[in-house]
Structure 1
Amino acid sequence: MTAEAEADTEAPAKKGIPKLFIIIGAAVVVLLLAGGGLFFFLSSSGGEADAHGDGHAATAAAELHDTFIFNLPPMMVNLSSEEGNQAFMKLTIALEVADEHMMTEIQPRLAKVIDAFQVYMRELRKSDLEGSAGIYRLKEELLRRVNLAIYPAHVESVLFKEILVQ
């Protein structure tokens, strides 16, 4: 029986060694792939800056056209509530437009823009505005509504100057 006991102890040791090599080999492969990916990522982003030089970034920034800001009056809206708790939101918005001509297009349609905003925001609940995802959804929906209200004019983005939800 002692010979059988020795055979049993040697067998697991022999089976365990190849598993250890497989695990170590897999870890080395993963590290090599991650290192190669990191090197590729860093060399590709650094290569563009070296090829174009620092002057290219300055000229690219100068080529971008200036945008104009159209400030809307502050709005205060009662939010929809489930339990009867009173909640409101105070919001100050600016619209980013491509040129001054768009600002003159928005001015006569300002009442339609504010109405579209008010109708949408009165249906919001306080829980709809929680977190960055809620604010992002609000921003995208307001952008969609302002572009519908002032069509064929176009607003580039909606900028929040102040948001207060209580």
Structure 2
Amino acid sequence: MSAKPAKAATAEGEAAPKGGKRKLVLLAAPIALAAIGGGLWFSGVLPGLLGGGAHEAPSEHAEAPPAPPVFFDMPEIVANLNAPGRRTSYIRLRSKLELARPDDAAAVQAAMPRLLDLYTTYLREMRPEELRGSAGTQRLREELIARASLAAAPARITDVLFTEILLQ
């Protein structure tokens, strides 16, 4: 009698690991398939195999590539800054305006007195601390773009490029 219960315990012990391995395989297989599918999708292999638009025919109504930007040279601007104390600080600024279309150059040239006035009055209100570092230069760029767009209203100014900024 004692032999039979030992055999039953061994049979139960062997059955338990087989069930655990089967569960592990059933859980790991979908996870592995999902990982492989995700890898193929993000690498671009799977969309190409499924015909996901990688080889689309060019449309007859496709837009023409955008025209290259036009750069407009601004005159040099020298202005005194709003510096506290007795010592005055100056800024010398040379820049270029990036225009969206070549036709905008005429509008910018016509608005040049207003543009120089807006730039100079803005620079005179700035403190030297506000211009230090890349964050100060970026703020200056954004403000000058806004003022240039305002002064040359029909023209579209896309960027202000600094060729020289000198603080003294």
Higher helix share: 1
**Residue number among 67, 72, 76 corresponding to 1:65 in the alignment:** 67
* Structure-2 residue corresponding to 1:160: 162
Query: How far does the alpha carbon of each residue in 1:80-126 deviate from its partner, in whole angstroms, 9 at most, with x for none?
Result: 11122221111001000012110011111100000000010000110
Q: Distance in 2 between matches of 1:102 and 1:90?
A: 26
Q: Which runs of 5+ in 1 are unaligned?
A: 1-35, 54-61
Query: How far does the alpha carbon of each residue in 1:38-78 deviate from its partner, in whole angstroms, 9 at most, with x for none?
Result: x97xx84x649xx669xxxxxxxx93420100001111111
Please give the residue correspondences for 1:1-150 in structure 2 after superposition, counting only pairs within 5 Å: 44=42, 47=44, 63-150=65-152
Conservation of the 8 A alpha-carbon contact between 2:99 and 2:155: no
* Structure-2 residue corresponding to 1:14: none
* Structure-2 residue corresponding to 1:5: none
Give the residue type in structure 1 aligned to 2:135.
A
* Structure-1 residue corresponding to 2:24: none
Conservation of the 8 A alpha-carbon contact between 2:104 and 2:156: yes
Shift of 1:154: 1.4
Q: Distance in 2 between matches of 1:127 and 1:85?
A: 14
* Structure-2 residue corresponding to 1:151: 153
Give the residue type in structure 2 aligned to 1:165.
L
Q: Which has the larger radius of gyration?
A: 2
* Structure-1 residue corresponding to 2:21: none
TM-score scaled to structure 2, two decimals? Answer: 0.62
Q: Distance in 2 between matches of 1:47 and 1:101?
A: 42
Q: Distance in 2 between matches of 1:105 and 1:152?
A: 7
Worse overlay, 79-88 or 139-148: 79-88
Q: Which runs of 5+ in 2 are unaligned?
A: 1-34, 49-53, 56-63
TM-score scaled to structure 1, two decimals? Answer: 0.63
Q: Distance in 2 between matches of 1:78 and 1:47?
A: 56
Secondary structure of 2:103's counterpart equals: helix
Secondary structure of 1:104's counterpart equals: helix
